[in-house]
Structure 1
Amino acid sequence: MKTILITGATDGIGLETARQLARQGHELVLHGRNEEKAARASAAIRATVPDARLHTAYANLADLAAVARMAHELSARLPQLDVLINNAGVYMTERKLSHDGFEMTLAVNHLAHFLLTDLLLPLLKRSAAPRVVTVSSMVHGSGRIEFDNINSERGFNGYHAYSNSKLANALFANELARREPWLTSNSLHPGVIGTKLLHAAFSMQGDSVASGARTSVYLATSPEVAGVTGRYFDNCAETAAAAQALDRQLAQRLWAWSERAVGGFLTPAG
């Protein structure tokens, strides 16, 4: 059985991903924005999986210092980490800045996970076959990384900011796979799922959260994808990512920008 950290595990796809993994008997670390939310998620899972092996961790992903603190605390507490599922995400209808001055969608969806993954690499290295799973979206195909407007100072649009962040997720997953060949790193489209995010962003119905969790669970645990890395999945099957997600030069440039953005917090954990 694996030890698995899931960001954004307090509702929606993240909570359902945790529930499905708990049923399989894995040891889980449930991340929430605060201690109360994480504890509530833990109780919700135990209501259906009474013998679930659960830990909690919390950090506001809009605050890089809080992300770093959580990574260091987990590195001190856990003997190893087998899987990191970068699941948490936000959709902003108006432009807001994170604690560190970055556009909120990019800060939470990309930068927080970039920093968290980097700081947890030593912990992942203790696993025999570590995996990093990053939840992107099919809307990454509409994304553009414009470094001269990366904080959306000009013409903020919620959908564009979200699709840009999902492109960043796919680029990050692919570049991580190239840089760290000792782990597997893949990204995915969870489906069009009826979560709070979908309702806030698109005012439409979607598929069940059970359906939305399936591909994350598959990439985290299935022996079928052991050793498969740098790929993009939809409905538990490898599929073609958009051309810009496969642009190595863009991925390297985004990586360098991200390192500078989180640079003050990059002291390795563990």
Structure 2
Amino acid sequence: MSGLRRLFITSWSSDVRLDGKTAVVTGANSGIGKETAKDLTKRGARVILACRDMAKAEQTASEIIRELGVASVVPYKLDLADTKSICEFAELIYNNEKSLHFLINNAGVAMCPYSTTEDGFEMQFGVNHLGHFFLTFLLIDLLKHSAPSRVINVSSVAHSMGKIQFEDINSEKNYHPVKAYVQSKLANVLFSRELAKRLEDLGVTVCAVDPGLVNTALVRHMKKSFQFFVKTFGFLIRTPAEGAYTTLYCALTPDLLNGGYYSNCALAPCSRAARDDATAARLWAASCHLLGIRWK
């Protein structure tokens, strides 16, 4: 690693073992999710690759098994843009898994053209926030049963530019890909904060993480100017393995601040909007209303 890269990339390692533990990693067929799944598998965990594209998930599972020489990584289908698929995935987990110690809500879409999920939600808000909110709701009993356990929501420093547009939360009146993205990333942090409060003293630790600027498939919808930045200033860009560091730090470090926001493998400040308890509670209520669920 060059001297310039050392200024921007945090190096981190741990020898913690996870034998007997089970983890779900969403969006685990590539990028940060794949690297997270690989590291957890290496430590002895049983890892569920929760992916929309089963062909890619099966290929990733085969690669990890071949590389590590273990058979404890399993692909399950999960489309976070479809609540029916989320329900089917949760049913598979309850039918096949006795415990769940880590739920890593990693999957996401970024700055895509306007589209909606199967349930009519704006795609970025629907996948990045509502999909993971609903998935966590369905799996929370197993996480509590398996405590101590953790929920890790992958957000972004971009959350600091976000605002929850309660009057147009699905961007039906006015859609801008960046505004929709940063709203969804702010929602990740607010969800983590509110969930931690509601699970206090139940043995489930919740946090949000910023993986840094990572060169993954997420940049495919971004403007050519940003893609040029990625190519030109590559020394500032993290590899997927480096992007997974903070997620792994939050999975493996003993004493985390419940509801905390982590960046560069350390507790970090988040935006004022992300610390607003009233907004977090309002978003919780709005999310339950949109999904048609009751979650006290």
TM-score > 0.5, shorter chain as reference: yes
1:62–1:98 contact (8 Å) kept in structure 2: yes
User: In structure 2, what is the equivalent of residue 246 of structure 1?
Assistant: 275
1:25–1:52 contact (8 Å) kept in structure 2: no
Is 2:221 aligned against 1:200?
yes
| Residue of structure 2 aligned with 1:105, choices 103, 115, 124 | 124
User: In structure 2, what is the equivalent of residue 229 of structure 1?
Assistant: 258
| Residue of structure 1 aligned with 2:287, choices 249, 258, 261 | 258
> Percent of aligned pairs with the same residue?
40
User: What is the CA distance between 1:224 and its match in structure 2?
Assistant: 4.1
Is 2:211 aligned against 1:217?
no
User: What is the CA distance between 1:8 and its match in structure 2?
Assistant: 0.4
Is 2:90 aligned against 1:71?
yes
User: In structure 1, what is the equivalent of residue 110 of structure 2?
Assistant: 91
Task: Give the 3-state SS of the residue equivalent to 1:233 in structure 2.
Answer: strand
User: What is the CA distance between 1:76 and its match in structure 2?
Assistant: 1.6
User: In structure 1, what is the equivalent of residue 141 of structure 2?
Assistant: 122
Question: What is the distance in 1 between the residues matched to 2:70 and 2:92?
Answer: 25
Task: Give the 3-state SS of the residue equivalent to 2:99 in structure 1.
Answer: coil
User: What is the CA distance between 1:191 and its match in structure 2?
Assistant: 0.6
User: What is the CA distance between 1:163 and its match in structure 2?
Assistant: 0.5
Question: What is the distance in 1 between the residues matched to 2:73 and 2:26?
Answer: 14
* Pairwise CA RMSD: 1.5
Question: What is the distance in 1 between the residues matched to 2:221 and 2:113?
Answer: 12
User: What is the CA distance between 1:105 and its match in structure 2?
Assistant: 0.4
User: In structure 2, what is the equivalent of residue 3 of structure 1?
Assistant: 22
Further displaced range: 125-134 or 247-256: 125-134
User: In structure 1, what is the equivalent of residue 13 of structure 2?
Assistant: none
User: What is the CA distance between 1:52 and its match in structure 2?
Assistant: 4.5
User: What is the CA distance between 1:72 and its match in structure 2?
Assistant: 1.7
1:62–1:107 contact (8 Å) kept in structure 2: yes
1:22–1:52 contact (8 Å) kept in structure 2: no
Structure index of larger Rg: 2
Further displaced range: 80-89 or 255-264: 255-264
Task: Give the 3-state SS of the residue equivalent to 1:117 in structure 2.
Answer: helix
| Residue of structure 1 aligned with 2:77, choices 54, 58, 62 | 58
User: In structure 2, what is the equivalent of residue 184 of structure 1?
Assistant: 205
Question: What is the distance in 2 between the residues matched to 1:45 and 1:200?
Answer: 28
Using the size of structure 1 for normalisation, the TM-score is 0.94
Task: Give the 3-state SS of the residue equivalent to 2:127 in structure 1.
Answer: helix
Task: Give the 3-state SS of the residue equivalent to 2:278 in structure 1.
Answer: helix
Letter in 2 for 1:210: A
User: In structure 1, what is the equivalent of residue 47 of structure 2?
Assistant: 28
User: In structure 2, what is the equivalent of residue 136 of structure 1?
Assistant: 155
Is 2:60 aligned against 1:41?
yes
Unaligned residue ranges in structure 1 (runs of 5+): none
Which stretches of structure 1, 4 residues or longer, exceed 4 Å deviation after superposition? none
User: What is the CA distance between 1:43 and its match in structure 2?
Assistant: 1.0
User: What is the CA distance between 1:154 and its match in structure 2?
Assistant: 2.7
Letter in 2 for 1:79: K
User: What is the CA distance between 1:199 and its match in structure 2?
Assistant: 4.4
Question: What is the distance in 2 between the residues matched to 1:99 and 1:143?
Answer: 25
Unaligned residue ranges in structure 2 (runs of 5+): 1-17, 231-236
